[in-house]
Structure 1
Amino acid sequence: MGLESMVAATRVDLEARRERRPLAELLEGLEPSDRNFEAALQHEHPAFILEIKPASPSRGRIRAASELDAVIRAYRGFATAVSVLTDHRFFGGSFELLSRVRASLSQPVLCKGFILDAYQVVEARRAGADAVLLMLSLLDDAQYRAAADLAGRLRMAVLAEVHSASEMARATALGATLIGINNRDLRTLDVDLAVTERLAPLAPAAAIVISESGIGSPADVRRLAPIVDGFLVGSAPMASANPEVTTRELIFGPTKVCGLTSPDDAAAAWQFGATHGGLVFAVDSPRAVTVASARPIRAAAGLQWTGVFVNEPERRVAAIANDLGLQAVQLHGDEDASYAVHLRARLSPDTEIWKAVPVGSVPPPATVQAFDRRLLDRADPNRRGGTGRTFDWGLLAGLADPDRCILSGGLTPRNVTAAAATGISFLDVSSGVERAPGRKDHSTLARFFAARRAASISRRIS
């Protein structure tokens, strides 16, 4: 169904609701918003408006309403604000869903839908919305002002959505302070991130600019972060089998906290934004765990788990990985491609094999096909990993396969910004967030992930 048909259907539904309940009645006893959407966006850089979207015209059903608890849980700790689609016909949403989401979270909530009239602003506020999205493609200037003025009286923010240079000019003339650039052409449903790249430089210097639609990976965030203030993200977490990990990957980038030896440390790593946890099974490591001690650590957090091994028999590595349900095994010894082939035959089909590659004074070699990823760490003739020191990251310039690499060695809150600038999105931290070997410092973990989040963006330069 095309945009015109969806808007026409929305208008019919709107008039039916207005006839049943006039505006004056809808306004009776209505309290203004007490969650400041605009202030929330100003506070976090980059800002992430994470969306609840059960369905869409382009994808059909994305996630059943009965399966939204995992998404709400994923958003609770990391969303700057939450957007809820309230259109039922085409997006599977409702005002009841918006109310449910707002009651479950402390963040401001944005009502998103085909808002054609100020009446819908009041409906949104009665459901609990703290902000509304107004599409300039659907509203003339008078309609926009009427809706925005009423939103202001209810202390609701307005996110003015644009898709063209002419709409950006209108948003500027209308005094919009929050501008969303929709990368999706609603008439064709095509998505192009270049829309943000074309329009963001045209926005008023003082406006908060949000890129909407098509933000599905850390690479998309890195691409647009220098020219916007935040992102509106919906389909990627909603469609994910593991929305909690997907949300963390988008906001922080994939990050492994290695050498976890206690349930408390695993829970803290998860709380602050880690996607992966590392369990070291090398017996001579100060961070070594056993299968028995690993079980409660693994159970304490929803991390993707990796086992670290050094020159262990394939049978033992596979037995531990399969027993604990590890998502990856990380090899730090002399294991070669033949070893990897034989090991893979013993592993669950979903378990990846990563190979640690020591980096000295020359660029690292390309990833061997037998391994899913390579972990790049500082070379040390006396130690197999865990040096706690960086190597020359300048050697990574022109790396052919950064998406198959993990950067490790000496990462700390102080150098995580430089690490992110190497182009490798997957980072592995251990000693840089410890107070003693195998004992993580939770305040340092918090600072590491705060820096990790901030590293993905450079504020817009006016």
Structure 2
Amino acid sequence: MEKTLNILEEIAAKTRERVAEEKNKVSLEEMKQQAESLNTETGFPFENAIKEGSLSFICEVKKASPSKGLIAGDFPYVEIAKEYEKGGASAISVLTEPYWFMGSNEYLKEIRAAVDIPIIRKDFTVDEYMIYEAKVIGADAVLLICAILDDDSLKKYMQTADKLGLSALVETHDEEEVNRAVKAGARLIGVNNRDLRNFTVDINNSLRLRNLVPDNITFVSESGIKGEKEIRELAQGKVDGVLIGETMMRAGESRIETLKSLIKAGQI
């Protein structure tokens, strides 16, 4: 039980080691200069894509996860991203965490070159360096997880993202974290339906916490969304967007059709 209880802390600690190694290759100052030399007047395409109309779909490109292990042995990630775009996804989430999720910055760079819709870099942001890096590799948004950030870091990272023209999806999983995200001024709040202590999933977590988030903040439900029934419940619960990963990754050749039918289910 202890192992799963601390999975987030374990990933965060490993990510700090990874960032230290990356800083030896490209310094913070150099990464910052590269990021700031890019267009920062972006208009925040990621959050605008989630705001538009009915329930929006953020489809995830991931090879593995801590709860499921290897999800996709065969992993044509650029083709998968293109299928998401063709199927009607509003945005794409790309895992760049290499150890538990077998992700890579290269995946995001290549997907960025192949699709037009916005991309969120799905990683465990524990250092400002990672926000500059996200900008450099082509992301439109970053994930900030409340459980691994204190209030000062959360606010600082949101400001850095803002300055670079990146959206910040602030991930929460309980009332206290939702309140912290609202207080920090988050424009995008996600609720993780997976309890990382035991990997159980309950989409009622999103429905319950939705009521704590003001309507002017974009609300995203993340994890464990399997089919049309849950999509309808979330749409009826005034959720703005869903982040859907494993279901889409396992859809294989029927990926486009699966996505289209889920999108249709969300149109209430």
Q: TM-score, normalization: structure 2?
A: 0.90
Shift of 1:241: 2.6
CA offsets, 1:336-359, max 9 Å, x none?
xxxxxxxxxxxxxxxxxxxxxxxx
Counterpart in 2 of 1:252?
264
More helix by share: 2
User: Quick one: distance in 1 between partners of 2:200 and 2:160?
Assistant: 33
What residue is the counterpart of 1:133 in the other structure?
143
The SS at the match of 2:202 is coil
SS of 1:28's partner is: helix
2:175 counterpart residue number: 165
The answer to whether structure 1 residue 193 and structure 2 residue 203 are counterparts is yes
- Per the TM alignment, residue 454 of structure 1 is displaced from its structure 2 partner at its CA by 2.7
Which amino acid letter does the alignment assign opposite residue 39 of structure 2? Answer: P
Q: After TM superposition, give the deviation of residue 229 of structure 1 in Å.
A: 0.9
Q: Equivalent of 1:123, from 133, 137, 154?
A: 133
Give aligned-pair identity as a percent: 36
Unaligned runs of 5+ in 1: 254-452, 456-462
- Helix, strand or coil: the match of 1:51? strand
* SS of residue in 1 equivalent to 2:30: helix
**Root-mean-square deviation (Å):** 1.6
The 1-side partners of 2:48 and 2:218 are apart by 10
Q: In 2, are the aligned partners of 1:84 and 1:109 still within 8 Å (CA)?
A: yes
Which runs of at least 4 in structure 1 moved beyond 4 Å after TM superposition? none
1:158-237 alignment to 2 at 5 Å? 158-227=168-237, 228-237=239-248
Which residue type is aligned with residue 244 of structure 1? Answer: I
Q: Deviations over 1:295-319 (max 9, x none)?
A: xxxxxxxxxxxxxxxxxxxxxxxxx
Match of 2:39 among 32, 37, 62: 32
Structure 2, unpaired ranges of 5+: none
The residue type paired with residue 146 of structure 2 is: L
Q: Is the 8 A contact 1:73 1:244 kept in 2?
A: no
Counterpart residue identity of residue 240, structure 1 = A
Secondary structure at the residue paired with 2:100? helix
CA distance in 1, matches of 2:16, 2:262: 35
Q: 2:85 aligned with 1:43, yes or no?
A: no
In 2, are the aligned partners of 1:55 and 1:91 still within 8 Å (CA)?
yes
Distance 2:231 2:158 in 1: 29
1:310-349 alignment runs, 5 A limit: none
SS at match of 2:195: coil
Q: Which residue of 2 aligns with 1:73?
A: 82
| Secondary structure of 2:199's aligned partner | coil
Name the aligned partner's letter for residue 227 of structure 2: S
Higher RCO (Cα < 8 Å, 6 or more apart): 2
Q: How does 1:236-315 map to 2 (within 5 A)?
A: 236-242=247-253, 243-253=255-265
Letter in 1 for 2:55: P
1:259-283, Cα deviation, whole Å (9 max, x unpaired): xxxxxxxxxxxxxxxxxxxxxxxxx
- Distance, in Å, in 1 between the alignment partners of 2:131 and 2:13 is 18
Q: Could you tell me how far 1:103 is from its partner in structure 2?
A: 1.1
Distance 2:140 2:82 in 1: 20
CA offset at residue 32 of structure 1?
3.2
Residue 66 to residue 230, structure 1, CA distance change in 2 (3 Å): closer
Contact 1:54 1:63 in 2 (8 A): yes
How far did residue 205 of structure 1 move? 2.3
Among 5, 9, 13, the alignment partner of 2:10 is: 5
- The 8 Å contact of residues 54 and 64 in structure 1, kept in 2 or not, is answered as yes
Partner amino acid, structure 2, of 1:52: V
**Secondary structure in 2 matching 1:96:** helix
* Residues 172 and 203 in structure 1, CA contact (< 8 A), matched pair in contact too: yes
Helix, strand or coil at the partner of 2:201: coil
Post-superposition CA distance 1:158-213 (Å, at most 9, x none): 11111000001101111111100110112322211111121010112211101000
